Amino acid sequence: MASKLELKDLIRPDNFIDGKWVAAASGKRFGVTNPATGEVIADVADSGEADARAATDAAARAFPAWRDALPKERAAVLHRWHDLMMENADALGRLISLEQGKPFAEGRGEVLYGASYVKWFADEATRIYGDIIPQQQRGKRMTAVKEPVGIVAAITPWNFPLAMIARKIAPALAAGCTVVGKPAEDTPLTALALVLLAHEAGVPPGVLNLIAASRENAVSAVASWLHDSRVRKITFTGSTPVGKYLARESAETLKKLSLELGGNAPFIVFDDADLDAAVTGLLVSKFRNGGQTCVCPNRVYVQSGVYEKFGDMLAKRVAALKVAPATDPDAQIGPMINARAIDKIVRHVDDAVAQGARVLAGGKRLTALGPNYYAPTVLADATSAMQLSCEETFGPVVPLFRFDDEAEALRAANDTPFGLASYFYSQDIRRIDRVSRGLEAGIVGINEGALASEAAPFGGVKESGYGREGSKYGLDDYLSIKYLCQGGLE
């Protein structure tokens, strides 16, 4: 196989188990559609319990050899995988755009982003140190070593079809774990393409297994992993209710869990902020992937002294954003993922307007483009009684809430069960210190809207979950510590 592939070569509609492409045991398939047009891209294997079990069997067989491979051998495979992702960045980016809808520039950007985690963890694989514990008794040596936890089950959402699964598989493989995975039903093709490249890079059969499933069958497929004591860890990115379900169901076999769940990110603009920078930061953080990321600001709090001015500046920039299919080179916002997503956005905006919100920009569907398009929207006079203040809209809608003082802003920002990302703009150094400490969130953007980096720990607090992806901490979730106590040395 040539290492540089065309888009059509990357479309693999079967499961990948034990190094082979196989149909679902039931023979069932489900259609994956292009959200811009509703056209079916491919009929993909619709897996169930038997397929999930076959994946676990393969992962169990492959585990001892992969665990015992030298760290630099695992690193070399991951580096090759990274290089193949980079060589195929255009075709992978197009595939992401095709099944997920984001503009091509963002799709390609996601490939680079996902690949950066693979490179990071390839390097980290060679730096898994233990400890020599200072001697406590003569004749005894005490050490702590780190070992892979075992088989990891990775379950991912549709909004970053490549990056979300890459940043789970890469640390798992680096640590010496084997993987069974299930991507989201809306976007399984990108993940399957990644597995194709991983195989090409030399990931041995059984080390990485991926099955696709419709929403309906995903439940029994994943349940097989939840109840299988051979699966030692679940790593999940998705909604909080599903995360809680996975935690409950896996409790019986006490699995290690990493849960990257929903957010309800606040974005605070203080009177003393650089307003141009705040508008730009908000555009960057809010409209990435059309507002469909878990770190997108969902509630924007603006201090009364700059409220009207900020609203005007923002509305002008938002109204100029170009909404178009991913194939349009000028597209800045593509279609939303599906009808369910559009319905939620419409419900949130209609509810806000009915309760007195003023539409400064957008506020409507763009049906001439297709069924899944929504105009980028700015709403003034938002209140905490509106649905969009307590639920994540996951679309291109910015509600502006007014506040008078810092304590009020912090109280409102923290008044949510979630705690993933948060942002604020201020030029007062003491305020920056106070607010950074006061925000209940795993991630704080200070005068900055673009926070993503493979070198930084990504994760939440409260009901946004636990565990961290990326950074020097990202491997910990895939390792367990073994204490060795050797006696009789005198």
Catalytic residue, candidates 110, 185, 260, 392: 260
Instruction: Compute the chain's Rg from CA coordinates.
Output: 23
Shortest approach of ligand ADP to residue 117 CB, angstroms? 19
Task: Out of 69, 219, 247, 369, name the contact with ligand ADP by CB under 6 A.
Answer: 219
Task: Kindly tell me which of 111 and 218 has the beta carbon lying closer to ligand ADP.
Answer: 218
Q: Collect all residues with Cβ–Cβ distance below 8 Å to 438 and sequence separation of at least 6.
A: 410, 414
Task: Out of 184, 259, 295, 420, name the contact with ligand ADP by CB under 6 A.
Answer: 184
Shortest approach of ligand ADP to residue 406 CB, angstroms? 33
Pairwise CA distance, residues 476 & 149, whole Å: 10
Task: Out of 72, 215, 316, 482, name the contact with ligand ADP by CB under 6 A.
Answer: 215
Cα angle, residue 182 at apex, residues 178 and 187 outer, rounded to 5°:
135
Task: Kindly tell me which of 247 and 313 has the beta carbon lying closer to ligand ADP.
Answer: 247
Helices assigned H by DSSP within 88-204: 89-100, 104-124, 163-175, 188-200
Q: Is the dihedral of CA 256, 65, 83, 162 positive or negative?
A: negative
Task: Out of 13, 103, 176, 238, name the contact with ligand ADP by CB under 6 A.
Answer: 238
Q: Which residues pair with 21 in a beta bridge?
A: 16
Q: Are 10 and 88 in contact (CB under 8 A)?
A: yes
Shortest approach of ligand ADP to residue 263 CB, angstroms? 12
Token reading at 247: 């935690």
Q: Collect all residues with Cβ–Cβ distance below 8 Å to 8 and sequence separation of at least 6.
A: none
- Read off the amino acid at residue 290: G
Task: Kindly tell me which of 228 and 406 has the beta carbon lying closer to ligand ADP.
Answer: 228
- Which helix (H) or strand (E) covers residue 351, if one does? helix 339-354
- Give me the count of residues in the chain: 490
Task: Out of 54, 91, 242, 268, name the contact with ligand ADP by CB under 6 A.
Answer: 242
Shortest approach of ligand ADP to residue 360 CB, angstroms? 28
- Based on the shown chain and the rule CB under 6 A, indicate whether residue 471 belongs to the binding site for ligand ADP: no
- Based on the shown chain and the rule CB under 6 A, indicate whether residue 36 belongs to the binding site for ligand ADP: no
Shortest approach of ligand ADP to residue 242 CB, angstroms? 4
How much of the chain is in helix, strand and coil states, percent to nearest 5?
A: 40, 20, 35
- Based on the shown chain and the rule CB under 6 A, indicate whether residue 472 belongs to the binding site for ligand ADP: no
**SS3 track for 294-318:** CCCEEEEEEEHHHHHHHHHHHHHHH
Shortest approach of ligand ADP to residue 323 CB, angstroms? 21
- Binding residues among 143-182 for ligand ADP as defined by CB under 6 A: 155-157, 182
Q: Are 147 and 176 in contact (CB under 8 A)?
A: yes
Stretch that binds ligand ADP, among 68-76, 217-225, 308-316, 324-332 (CB under 6 A): 217-225
Task: Kindly tell me which of 110 and 185 has the beta carbon lying closer to ligand ADP.
Answer: 185
Shortest approach of ligand ADP to residue 222 CB, angstroms? 4
Task: Kindly tell me which of 215 and 322 has the beta carbon lying closer to ligand ADP.
Answer: 215
Q: DSSP letter string over 215-235?
A: HHHHHHHHHHHHT-TTEEEEE
- Reply yes or no on whether 454 is catalytic: no
Token reading at 474: 């990202």
Pairwise CA distance, residues 364 & 221, whole Å: 38
- Based on the shown chain and the rule CB under 6 A, indicate whether residue 220 belongs to the binding site for ligand ADP: no
Task: Out of 26, 37, 239, 338, name the contact with ligand ADP by CB under 6 A.
Answer: 239
Q: Are 345 and 363 in contact (CB under 8 A)?
A: no
Task: Out of 151, 154, 218, 420, name the contact with ligand ADP by CB under 6 A.
Answer: 218
Task: Kindly tell me which of 50 and 313 has the beta carbon lying closer to ligand ADP.
Answer: 50
- Based on the shown chain and the rule CB under 6 A, indicate whether residue 474 belongs to the binding site for ligand ADP: no
Residue 487 phi/psi, 5° resolution? Answer: -105, -175
Task: Kindly tell me which of 263 and 363 has the beta carbon lying closer to ligand ADP.
Answer: 263
Active-site amino acid positions? 260
Q: Which residues of the chain form contacts with ligand ADP (CB under 6 A)?
A: 155-157, 182, 184-185, 215, 218-219, 222, 238-239, 242, 245
